[in-house]
Amino acid sequence: MSDLRKVCFFCDEAIEEKKTLEHIIPNSLLGRLGIKEKTITGRKETQYSRIKVPAHSSCNSEFGSHYENRALNLLDDLDSLYETIKSEEAGLPMVYGPDESATAIITTWLSKIYYGLFYYDLISTQDEEWREICSSVVMGQNFEYVRASYRNGHGFQLPSSLYAFKTKNADTDLVTLVDPSSILLKIGSLTLILCICDGYLTKNYLNGEVLDRLRDCVRQEDERDIGFPSHKLALGEIVALRSCIPKTPKFISSDNQIINMSLSTMVADPDTYYRIDEQALSNARVEILRGFNIELD
């Protein structure tokens, strides 16, 4: 393995000049949330503000001005961001390319946080087992495509389903999952959940009325008990669904773009062929929520 400290996190090229360090979770956001010193745990405790990865100064400032500053501006008004993401979620982009929507900016930003956390841990962990896990994320084909996408100017992301939820509970939370690769970032009353590199498969099932029902369910639990982690109920449902989708994301790299093949099919009757097994979903839901220490009635 080449020395990751000398390779740019964003573009995967060697860093010859003086390297800069990219803050995975920007200090300005931590300051605003008042959680600058909060620790997160992979296997060891780390302070948010210490999580940095090597980057070219040009990539660092390019990402900052093109994506991060815009993401932070969007986060200045959580209610409005929630409404914007909701209004954008009806469309399922078939062509994947440069996109200035709030959904695309937030997706790129969350994708950077997700991969950045594993990248940082891969560089810094002393725990062999955890290093293996981080390595599987950072050395995987999807991350290679994410960086190719960034180099092509299409954002630091692959097609990924983004969901927004609103709660009265205003605690901050950050959850990452390796399988299926997902990130939840809760900033005050807004919960963002990104199904990393799912090729929009999750969105293909969870949309419209089904999604409205999930939002209602989260809202009811939040209103019933403001201390209840209702945002994790949303994550659990999304992860359970995703684990039961009888189809895997598929991307191909061609010329200067990554093409999302996940939604195409050759079968004659896709509705039947790709139907979710309700019993399997129900079992997955119970198991995943139990992992979050949530017992369903």
Among 7, 11, 193, 233, binds Zn ion (CB under 5 A): 11
For residue 257, which of 49, 26, 48, 95 has the smallest C-alpha distance? 95
- Minimum CB separation from Zn ion for residue 17, in Å? 11
Near Zn ion by CB under 5 A: residue from 19, 23, 56, 203: 56
Q: Which residues pair with 69 in a beta bridge?
A: none
CA distance 54 to 36: 20
Separation CA 258–CA 89 (nearest Å): 21
Smaller CB distance to Zn ion: residue 59 or 117? 59
153: left (phi over 0), alpha (psi -120 to 50) or beta: left
Binding test (CB under 5 A) with Zn ion, winner from 25, 30, 51, 59: 59
Q: Please say which residue, 122 or 201, places its beta carbon nearer to Zn ion.
A: 122
Minimum distance between the CB of residue 63 and Zn ion, rounded to whole angstroms? Answer: 9
Of 193, 195, 191, the closest CA to residue 181 belongs to 195
Is there binding between residue 10 and Zn ion (CB under 5 A)? yes
d(CA 193, CA 186): 8
CB 261 to Zn ion: min, Å: 28
DSSP class of 8: -
Q: How far is the CB of 193 from Zn ion (least distance, A)?
A: 28
Name residue 37's amino acid: E
Q: Which is nearer to Zn ion, 8 or 289 (CB)?
A: 8
Could you give the residue ranges of the DSSP H alpha helices within 17-127?
27-33, 57-63, 69-75, 78-88, 102-124
Supply the minimum distance, in Å, between the C-beta of residue 11 and Zn ion: 3
Q: Which is nearer to Zn ion, 48 or 63 (CB)?
A: 63
Binding-site member from 7, 8, 183, 284 for Zn ion (CB under 5 A): 8
Segment near Zn ion (CB under 5 A); pick from 11-19, 24-32, 120-128, 167-175: 11-19
Where b means 16+ CB within 10 Å and e means fewer, 146-157 reads bbbbbeeebbbb
Task: Kindly indicate which of the ranges 55-63, 85-93, 204-212, 230-238 contains the residues binding Zn ion, using the contact rule CB under 5 A.
Answer: 55-63
Three-state DSSP class for 191? strand
Q: Please choose, out of 57-65, 142-150, 258-266, 287-295, the segment that lies near Zn ion by the rule CB under 5 A.
A: 57-65
Minimum Å gap between C-beta 147 and Zn ion is: 9
56 or 70: CB nearest Zn ion:
56
**Number of chain positions touching Zn ion (CB under 5 A):** 5
With beta carbons less than 8 A apart as the criterion, state whether 288 and 280 touch.
no
102 contributes a contact to Zn ion by CB under 5 A:
no
Q: Which residues bind Zn ion (CB under 5 A)?
A: 8, 10-11, 56, 59
